[in-house]
């Protein structure tokens, strides 16, 4: 039960409370200031158990400074007055944000939630250039049928391009976007697109009848629907994804395995409305029932004139999504079965957008606010997982055309299985021409989970569209012992590289490498009882430019090889006599990092990183 806390400034003729309802008389308003409240599960600056009645067209509620409205009962608000909530967009004239309205139109007085109509519900604060000086005065935004929105100077209201207002309910093709325009409608719970203006950071004032209670949106198996947070409060992604009403509709047997929220991001600096000039993609977000969130950034690609992605890599997104979905945020979901996905009041939470765990899909900031219900984040912005979890991320850097990075996330928990794990994994709807991914039932995954086992060998598929250098690097390693290696195993070269101590770089010819790379936690090196680390020493003596290999127990050696960090073999020695010491000149080598690999007759091998610095 959320407790009731109010910070209210009343300028009214009549203001009364019923036991559970809120009544705002005509000519009155309630001003709710969120400044004095901290995000939390049992806090709400304005909490109403039952119905809100706006008893006239001039009865209003103003939510300011991150104030939010929460309601308890599944009951419709009524009246012709309005609730006002601010949200700021990040898109410029040529780029989209995905939105969802917290309010509906007030053209009629009914007790049900009403559709959003842009020309009725989007206002512009024009009282002052600084809204804090006049926090309640707004007028309806204006519209142009042209392509470009216009940034204006108060008291002239901003001009929104109605051409780019679209919804998507549901579909698989670009042609299935539905034009809304300024006078069309979007039902509660559904999302819509809107382009910005040259300022790229405009503020919108959503005014209308506040949405409340159960709100349903349609999903179809294998198709996507643009939806969003429908309330004038934050929405808990965990409670939405794991609501029993929803799990059967957004999680099912392969290939409809989802439970993922997809956030659209366009590359910064967009300068064209032409679809073939768009550069963007979808970031992936999911969360476990215990509140462990998993996120990977958007891989950018370009698009054909019919909306088909070219899958040609064009960079990587920088924006993030977190657990608490702020007011106005839209996102895509994929249906696993046909039916109605439900938003409800139990999924609502008072959580400020400035808190560390809430973002209107935007660039990472430095907020550090924490509450007992928050997911915690480290200084790099990554979710800090509890001690019974392990995780790491791998970045695979491609250099095809523009620099492009595919980030993969691996989760480990005792509840995870070898099959699909809802809330811990995210499949990809498509892959780039050059890409890397985990694999499950022949489906690409960008977030995967297992029950941790030292003997796991996790396939990592790589495909390249042309001859190019490639780099594997690891970070965000959590709850692994400091001495525990995480190897990328290049099976073709039989080379193990501990990514915790160095990156692995190589050149690849065009093609799909389905069986060449895997992640392991043990190598064949010195892995049986007949060889231990103490039996062998490999080191580089840069004073004399020599590689030394000490064999004090005179083990039988099959071969000695040296590889550069691109995986290219620099030299190989075979048919070696048994000696106590082997030495090889490295004067001919360029300065840098190399991998020395010693293979024994027993079939075991030892790989050791050396650094060559030739003295002048």
**Residue 79 CA from chain centroid, whole number:** 38
Q: Which residue has the higher pLDDT, 199 or 256?
A: 199
| DSSP H helices in 77-181 | 118-121
Strand order across the 324-325 sheet: 324-325, 234-236, 348-349
Give residue-wise pLDDT tens across range 105-124: 999 999 999 999 999 999 99
For residue 206, give its domain range. 8-267+317-363
Average pLDDT over residues 393-409: 85
Beta strand spans in 105-183 (E): 122-125, 138-140, 142-144, 159-161, 166-168, 177-179
Residue 273 is assigned to a structural domain of this protein: no
Residue 464 has pLDDT above 70, yes or no: yes
Q: Which of 307, 336, 363 is the last residue of a domain?
A: 363
Q: Which of 305, 338, 363 is the last residue of a domain?
A: 363
Residue 602 is assigned to a structural domain of this protein: yes
Give whole-number Cα distances, 297 to 32, 77, 281, 285, 406, in Å. Answer: 35, 38, 9, 9, 8
Of 418, 567, 558, 421, which Cα lies nearest the Cα of 503? 567
Q: Which residue has the higher pLDDT, 369 or 381?
A: 381
pLDDT band at 213 (very low <50, low <70, confident <90, very high): very high
Residue 438 has pLDDT above 60, yes or no: yes
Give whole-number Cα distances, 50 to 72, 211, 326, 395, in Å. Answer: 6, 13, 23, 49
pLDDT band at 355 (very low <50, low <70, confident <90, very high): low
pLDDT in the model for residue 367: 41
Average pLDDT over residues 37-43: 79
| Contact status, residue 608 vs residue 547, Cβ threshold 8 Å | no
What is the DSSP code string of 67-102? --EEE-SS---EES-EEEEEEE----TT-EEEE--S
What is the three-state SS of 525-544? CCCCCCCCHHHCEEEEECCC
Percent of the chain surpassing pLDDT 70: 88
Average pLDDT over residues 479-500: 89
pLDDT band at 375 (very low <50, low <70, confident <90, very high): low
Burial class (CB in 10 A: 0-12, 13-18, 19+), 467: exposed
CA distance 538 to 248: 56
Percent of the chain surpassing pLDDT 90: 51
pLDDT in the model for residue 77: 95
Give residue-wise pLDDT tens across range 547-567: 888 877 777 888 888 888 777
Q: Which residue has the higher pLDDT, 185 or 368?
A: 185
CA distance 32 to 565: 60
Residue 537 has pLDDT above 70, yes or no: yes
pLDDT in the model for residue 210: 98
- The mean pLDDT value of the chain amounts to 85
Identify the DSSP state of 241: H
What is the DSSP code string of 574-607? ESPPP-SEEEEE-TTSPSEEEEEEEEETTS-EEE
| Contact status, residue 245 vs residue 69, Cβ threshold 8 Å | no
Least confidently predicted of 62-76, 124-138, 217-231, 283-297: 124-138
pLDDT in the model for residue 543: 78
Residue 176 is assigned to a structural domain of this protein: yes
pLDDT in the model for residue 502: 85
Q: Which of 334, 363, 392 is the last residue of a domain?
A: 363
Residue 255 has pLDDT above 70, yes or no: no
Q: Which residue has the higher pLDDT, 501 or 199?
A: 501
pLDDT in the model for residue 90: 80
Number of domains in the chain: 2
Residue 516 is assigned to a structural domain of this protein: no
Residue 13 has pLDDT above 50, yes or no: no
Residue 48 has pLDDT above 90, yes or no: yes
Output the domain CATH number for residue 598. 2.60.40.3080
Residue 447 is assigned to a structural domain of this protein: no
Cα-atom radius of gyration of the chain, to the nearest Å? 29
pLDDT band at 89 (very low <50, low <70, confident <90, very high): confident
Residue 168 has pLDDT above 60, yes or no: yes
Residue 400 has pLDDT above 70, yes or no: no
Strand order across the 581-585 sheet: 537-541, 546-550, 581-585
| Contact status, residue 517 vs residue 460, Cβ threshold 8 Å | yes
């Amino acid at each position: 039960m959320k407790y009731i806390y109010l910070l209210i400034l009343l300028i009214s003729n009549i203001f009364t409370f019923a036991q559970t309802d809120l009544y705002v008389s005509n000519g009155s308003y309630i001003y709710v200031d969120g400044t004095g409240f901290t995000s939390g599960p049992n806090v709400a600056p304005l909490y109403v158990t039952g119905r809100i009645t706006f008893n006239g067209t001039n009865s209003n509620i103003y939510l300011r400074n991150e104030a939010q409205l929460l309601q308890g009962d599944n009951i419709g608000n009524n009246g012709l007055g309005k609730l006002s909530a601010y949200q700021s967009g990040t898109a410029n004239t040529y780029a989209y944000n995905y939105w969802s309205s917290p309010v509906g139109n007030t053209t009629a007085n009914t007790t049900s939630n009403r559709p959003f109509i842009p020309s009725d519900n989007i206002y512009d604060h024009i009282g002052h250039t600084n809204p804090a000086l006049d926090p309640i005065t707004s007028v309806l935004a204006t519209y142009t049928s042209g392509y470009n929105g216009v940034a204006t100077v108060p008291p002239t209201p901003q001009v929104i391009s109605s051409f780019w207002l679209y919804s998507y309910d549901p579909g698989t093709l670009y042609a299935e976007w539905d034009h809304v325009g300024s006078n069309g409608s979007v039902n509660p719970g559904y999302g819509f697109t809107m382009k910005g203006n040259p300022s790229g950071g405009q503020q919108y004032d959503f005014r209308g009848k506040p949405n409340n209670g159960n709100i349903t949106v349609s999903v179809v198996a294998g198709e996507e629907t643009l939806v969003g947070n429908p309330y004038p409060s934050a929405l808990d992604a965990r409670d939405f994804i794991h609501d029993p009403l929803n799990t059967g509709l957004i999680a099912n047997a392969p290939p409809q395995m989802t439970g993922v929220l997809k956030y659209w991001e366009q590359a910064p600096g967009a300068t064209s409305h032409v679809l073939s000039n768009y550069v963007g993609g979808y970031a992936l977000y999911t969360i476990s029932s215990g509140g462990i969130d998993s996120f990977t950034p958007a891989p950018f690609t370009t698009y054909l004139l019919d909306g088909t992605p070219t899958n040609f890599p064009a960079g990587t997104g920088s924006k993030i999504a977190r657990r608490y979905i702020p007011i106005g945020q839209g996102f895509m979901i994929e249906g696993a079965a046909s039916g109605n996905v439900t938003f409800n009041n139990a999924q609502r939470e008072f959580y400020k957008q400035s808190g560390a765990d809430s973002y209107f899909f935007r660039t990472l900031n430095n907020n550090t606010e924490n509450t007992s219900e928050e997911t915690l984040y480290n200084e790099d912005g990554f979710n800090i997982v509890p001690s019974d979890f392990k995780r790491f991320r791998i970045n695979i850097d491609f250099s095809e055309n523009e620099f492009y990075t595919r980030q993969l996330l691996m989760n480990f928990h005792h509840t995870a299985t070898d099959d699909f794990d809802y809330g811990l994994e995210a499949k990809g709807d498509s892959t780039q021409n050059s890409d890397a991914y985990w694999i499950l039932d022949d489906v690409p995954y960008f977030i995967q989970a297992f029950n941790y086992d030292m003997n796991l060998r996790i396939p990592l598929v790589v495909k390249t569209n042309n001859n190019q250098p490639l780099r594997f690097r690891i970070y965000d390693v959590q709850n692994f012992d400091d001495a525990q290696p995480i190897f990328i195993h290049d099976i073709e070269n039989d080379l193990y590289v501990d990514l915790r101590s160095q990156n692995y770089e190589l050149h690849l010819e065009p093609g799909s490498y389905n069986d060449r790379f895997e992640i392991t936690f043990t190598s064949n090196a010195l892995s049986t009882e007949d060889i231990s680390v103490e039996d062998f020493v490999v080191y580089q003596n840069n004073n004399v430019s020599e590689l030394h290999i000490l064999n004090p127990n005179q083990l039988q050696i099959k071969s000695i090889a040296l590889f550069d960090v691109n995986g290219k073999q620099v030299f190989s020695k075979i048919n070696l006599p048994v000696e106590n010491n082997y030495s090889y000149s490295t004067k001919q080598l360029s300065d840098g990092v190399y991998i020395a690999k010693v293979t024994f007759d027993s079939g075991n091998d030892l790989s050791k990183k050396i650094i060559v610095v030739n003295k002048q």
